[in-house]
Structures are given as structure tokens and as C-alpha cells.
Amino acid sequence: MQNIRIKSSLQDFNESIAPVIDHLKELYKKEIRSEHDLKNAIEKRDSFDEQLKTIFTKSFSDPDSWLWNNYESYGIDKFIGWHYIGKEDTFQDKCNNINRTLNNRIEFLDQFSSMLPHLDVILKIEPLIDIENQNIEDILYLILFKLSKLKDDNYYSIEWILAGNGIALPRGDHELKEIIQELLKSYFIKSDYKSYQITVKGELQLGKWQRSRKRKTVKQSKNSIDEVMKELRILGHGQEILFNELEELKKLSTTLNKKNWKQLVKGKIFDLTLSKIINKETATFIVSKILPNEDFKYLLSKGSENL
């Protein structure tokens, strides 16, 4: 799954699909009495599908057509086994089939419409896990984190959460089912077909993971600062004022949240560079060790407004 992004306003999208949903519902209610009616129903369904595909393409950046594939396949697993292989479809079989596909499409679109106010939250990439080095615990944490943010009376798709964050599971749908089963078995989530809500137990587990991650981050921050100070002493680049500032940063890592602490690190190192207490190379070295994902050279070249 690749990242899904919104290209147009959600209001425009909602206004575009609303009449199509109404037409699908009208078609679903209409009784099919003849082959002519059946043919007409299939043609109309296909026509509505084409309209929706155009709307989806216009509204979302979806490189793998993930949303559209979900729309087309939604609900199919509910009816596996109803049709015998090798048996020719009767007129009633064909009517049942078109009605099922229409019902599935309506359910999907209704669910999708209910999620629209929260779609930015669902699809927002959270810097919680390393996409390149993800592990199952990270993925479970991300799912509970997102569902906690979406906590209301609605149920939400875990597939969508993962797709929005660009997470591709190595074993695909099989692994996704295992992850969901693990969350359900642990009573961290509850389900409504393919949508989910976080439970009280899930909230408690999320809190435990968050505290554990904070302790881990603080420990890593302290260790990285200690390593920087050690290397600076070996290289003879350190001054007392620099070491004092680094010691202060180490203490503050236990009290500030990660975002504010990162901003403070960059701000202090930038000020030390501006004051010529350290040069740009030393500043870049320090930040690369403490905040390995930050491009401090770029920040230095552009000035403090980028901090």
C-alpha cells in the first residue's frame, strides 16, 4: 500500500458522491422482474461505478488504486460459498448477485461518508514508527494511537489507517488479519465487520506503550548527548559553555515533550553557532548525533526562521 492523499476538498468529494449514492440506493430498491430489468440494472451499476471511479481519481492520490479496489471488493467475503462452482447461474442467482454488489457498494460508501470528517486524521502520517524498519509492536501502537484519536461512536478501518501511513505489510492481507485478531483477542479493539473502535483496555495499553516509549526516548537522548560530549572531548572541540548547554539539554529531555525538546536542541546549537562558540561543522556533527533525522546543514544555511 502506498500513501493515499487527498487532492480536493472533502466537501467537494462528499457533494460529488452524494447523488451517486442516492442513485445506487434507488437502483437497489427497484425490483428486477425480467432479463431486461437485470441488464438495465447491471448497466446502471457499471455506469455509476465509472462515475465514482472518476470522482475517486479526481479527489485522491492513490497510486495503487487501493481505495477503488476496496470499493469493488467490499463485502465479497460475506457471501463466499453461496455459489456452486460449475453451476450455471439462474435468473434469480443473477438478481441476487447484482443486489449483493449494490448493497456492498452502498455500505462501503455510507461508511466512507461517515469517515470523511475524520479522514485527515486517518490518513495523516504520524512520525511514530520507522517505515523502513517497522515491527509488529510499532504497528499495533500506531493502530491504537489512531483509533484513540478517532474515539467517538463510529468504527474505523485499520486498513485505511495503515494505507494512509504508507505501511505495507510483508505478508499482505494474511498479516493484517493476524494483527487484527491479536488486537481483538487482547480486547484492545472491538469490531463491526471491517471497522474497529478502541476499547478501554486498548486505551490503557496505549498509555503503557506511550510511557514506555517516552522512557526509551529519554534514555536514547541522554546516551546520545553523552556520546557527543565524549567525542568532542577526544577531538578537543569542546568548550565549557558548550558542555554546560549539553548537560542542560540532557536534563530537559526528561521534562519536555519530544517535539519541544527537538526544537530546543536546534535552537541552542544554532545560537552557539551564531555566537561563534562552535563552528558549523561542529554544530552539524552534534545535531546529527542527537537528532539523526534532522538536516541541520540546511537549517544553518537558511537561518533561524527554519528552526
Reported pTM: 0.59
Q: What is the pLDDT along the chain (307 residues), one digit of tens a residue?
A: 456 677 777 788 888 888 999 999 999 999 999 999 999 999 999 999 999 989 888 888 876 677 788 888 876 555 444 444 456 778 988 898 899 999 988 988 887 887 777 877 777 777 666 656 678 888 999 999 999 988 778 888 888 888 777 787 888 888 999 999 999 999 999 998 778 999 999 999 999 988 887 777 667 777 788 888 888 887 776 678 888 888 888 888 777 777 777 888 888 888 888 888 888 888 888 888 887 766 655 555 555 444 4
3-state secondary structure of 156: strand
3-state secondary structure of 263: helix
Half-sphere exposure of 206 (CA within 13 A, CB side): 22
Half-sphere exposure of 181 (CA within 13 A, CB side): 6
Indicate the helix (H) or strand (E) that contains 108.
helix 91-115
DSSP 179-207: HHHHHHHTTSEEEETTEEEE-HHHHHHHH
Of 173, 164, 196, nearest to 73 by C-alpha is 173
Which residues share a beta bridge with 197?
190
Give φ, ψ of 134 to 5 degrees.
Answer: -70, 150
